[in-house]
Structure 1
Amino acid sequence: MRVLVLIARVIDGVNGVIGRAMGWVALLMVTIGVINVVGRYLGAQIGMQLSSNALLEAQTYAYSMIFLLAAAHVLCGNGHIRVDIIYAGRSQRTRAWIDIFGTLIFLLPFCIFALYFSVGYVERSWNVLESSPNPGGLPRYPIKTVILIGFAMLLLQGGSELIKRIAWLRGVPGVPGPGDADARRVAAQAGEA
């Protein structure tokens, strides 16, 4: 079990790095958006086209990257929405079992389903080196690859969460239980940790 917990920690670490990197991508996305707006209005004033399809698509690509690649990091930090009627007010042990069943019944099958149907989609895009239909647009095949990477990382993080919940139920020391990460995060935000 200790080896599995170590693997889970490695997955958590990788997704943590990716999640923090997406914070910088968000900053880049906002910067590109500002450049687009300023370019469009300034260009209208001077009678020149200062915005481009590449910039517009780059902003959309950045958003797509954030959404797809940060999902696993959010799962690791217990930041996804839960159904409070089912989860709130339950003991940690019950919440651990809810997490296990939710991961096995919903998360992992959904990720496998998404990966299965995305492989051909991404492969076709790479085979033709798909590009934007817009003049001056960006290639499409790299951003479509992010779909596979995002769901693969979410699948791995789901496995990590499963390992951690089972380890916690078995009493493995040093493994946080359901809600423990939330308590640490709230304490850190309040300056208590």
Structure 2
Amino acid sequence: MPPVITGYVRFVDAVNYRIGRIVMYGIFIIVGILLWSSISKTFFYPSLWTLEAAQFAMVSYYILGGPYSIQLDANVRMDLFYGNWSNHKKAWFDVITIFFLIFFIGVLLYGAYDSTRYSILYGERSPTAWRPYMWPIKVTMCIGFVLMLLQAFSELFKDVARIRGEQL
């Protein structure tokens, strides 16, 4: 593979690996928010912010952890036939199907960008009692979709290299 593609794969994999390793500890933030929610509802006046903060944390956790999951090949897949195939046949199948993933993420990114732009321009707030601004979570979603798209191309290049008998 050309050095540019090899450099791209190494860079994207390194970035998504580091972000994924940091974000995976976000589960403790989610647990902390939900624990506080339970404690405050039991002993104090219920907090208005806990449910929505937990939802925002969960969205960040999944969206920013997605590229790391793709990189580790930990995503969900139907292994009825795939698991018995050779590595070469798996690579061919992955090269074909990754274009569906790239298209899907592109559509998500297009919608997320429009929604984020609207949210920033008009100061969109959640319609709940807490009323947080929506743009931070929408920006996080856009960043996550861009990272997933970059990782999908990285996986495409790795599969092409596998088909050619090379290793990236």
Is the shorter-chain TM-score for this pair beyond 0.5, marking a shared fold?
yes
Identity %: 29
| 1:86 corresponds to which of 57, 70, 81 | 81
User: In structure 2, what is the equivalent of residue 19 of structure 1?
Assistant: 20
Question: What amino acid maps onto 1:99 in structure 2?
Answer: D
Residue correspondences, number? 167
Structure 1 runs (4+) deviating above 4 angstroms are none
Query: Structure 1: how far apart are the matches of 2:48 and 2:67?
Result: 30
| 1:67 corresponds to which of 53, 62, 65 | 62
Query: Structure 2: how far apart are the matches of 1:135 and 1:83?
Result: 42
| 1:134 corresponds to which of 113, 128, 151 | 128
Bigger CA radius of gyration? 1
Deviation at 1:167, TM superposition (A): 1.6
Question: What amino acid maps onto 1:75 in structure 2?
Answer: I
User: In structure 2, what is the equivalent of residue 150 of structure 1?
Assistant: 144
Normalization by structure 1: what TM-score?
0.81
User: In structure 1, what is the equivalent of residue 7 of structure 2?
Assistant: 6
Deviation at 1:156, TM superposition (A): 0.5
Query: Structure 1: how far apart are the matches of 2:32 and 2:110?
Result: 35
**SS of alignment partner, residue 24 of structure 2:** helix
Stretches of structure 2 that go unaligned for 5 or more consecutive residues are none
Query: Structure 2: how far apart are the matches of 1:142 and 1:112?
Result: 20
| 1:76 corresponds to which of 68, 71, 76 | 71
User: In structure 2, what is the equivalent of residue 53 of structure 1?
Assistant: 48
Stretches of structure 1 that go unaligned for 5 or more consecutive residues are 44-48, 176-193
Root-mean-square deviation (Å): 1.4
Normalization by structure 2: what TM-score?
0.93
Question: What amino acid maps onto 1:115 in structure 2?
Answer: L
